[in-house]
Amino acid sequence: MRIAELSRESGVPPATIKYYVREGLLPPGELTIAVTRNVLASIDTPGTSLHAALGKVQYATTPRRDYQADEPTRATALQQADELIARRGWQLNQASPARQLLAEALAAVNSLGRADLLAKLDDYAEAAERIGAADVELVLGRPDLESMLEAVVIGTVIGDAILAALRRLVEEDVSARATVATDGARTAARSRANAVHAAAETQPRAT
């Protein structure tokens, strides 16, 4: 759909749509009336609480995966997600797309038999709490509602990319530090084996 058509159908000014496309917040291939309206309509909705307005934008920018799993697997994963939410004491709307996104990821983990990953859920949740608190602090520090909503979009779309990059950088660093002793032991073992082999080669052979 062209930007002019999208603007006409959604009521969102072309300049606003172009800004989000230019900043990479609304990729051209994903320009739809529904997404644009959901991201921007909260600005002009009277009587909407600040929490609800921020939530509308976050919900609109949360990806949908639709992981294919059988019903028992999906039900188990949703239960696991809800149990985590309850353990952490998170106040959430049951319709949150992030809840469904987590359940679909857990369904994939269950299908792969990765119980070790499930055991780390609370560790991931603890880290996410710190990140989420920092995100909201930044959003609420903006001077007006429009800039707050913009911060949610930017923080969600670009913030996800930043977090993915940071996670991989930290993994590389931790791996480098954690495997020093292991790599050293392997090198020493190879050196000993080579020395034994070299000594055996220098021994006179029986004739």
**What's the one-letter identity of residue 79?**
Q
Cα(15)–Cα(9) distance, rounded to whole angstroms? 15
Residue 69 in this model has a pLDDT that exceeds 80: yes
Q: List the Cα angle 67/115/169 in 5-degree steps.
A: 80
Write down the pLDDT at residue 149.
80
Nearest Cα to 20, choosing from 45, 5, 37? 37
Write down the pLDDT at residue 31.
46
* Alpha carbon 179 to chain centroid, angstroms: 27
156 Cβ neighbours under 8 A, 6+ residues apart: 57, 58, 61, 62
Residue 205 in this model has a pLDDT that exceeds 90: no
**pLDDT confidence bin for 109, thresholds 50/70/90:** very high
Residue 124 to residues 33, 86, 97, 130, 146: CA-CA distances in angstroms?
34, 15, 19, 10, 31
Residue 28 in this model has a pLDDT that exceeds 70: no
Q: What percent of the chain has pLDDT over 70?
A: 65
Name, of 4-8, 27-31, 92-96, 166-170, the range with top average pLDDT: 166-170
**pLDDT confidence bin for 1, thresholds 50/70/90:** very low
At 144-197, the pLDDT tens digits run 887 888 788 778 878 888 999 999 999 999 999 888 777 666 666 666 666 655
Q: What DSSP string runs through 154-184?
A: HHHHHHHHHHHHHHHHHHHHHHHHHTHHHHH
Residue 92 to residues 11, 96, 191: CA-CA distances in angstroms?
30, 7, 58
Cα(132)–Cα(142) distance, rounded to whole angstroms? 16
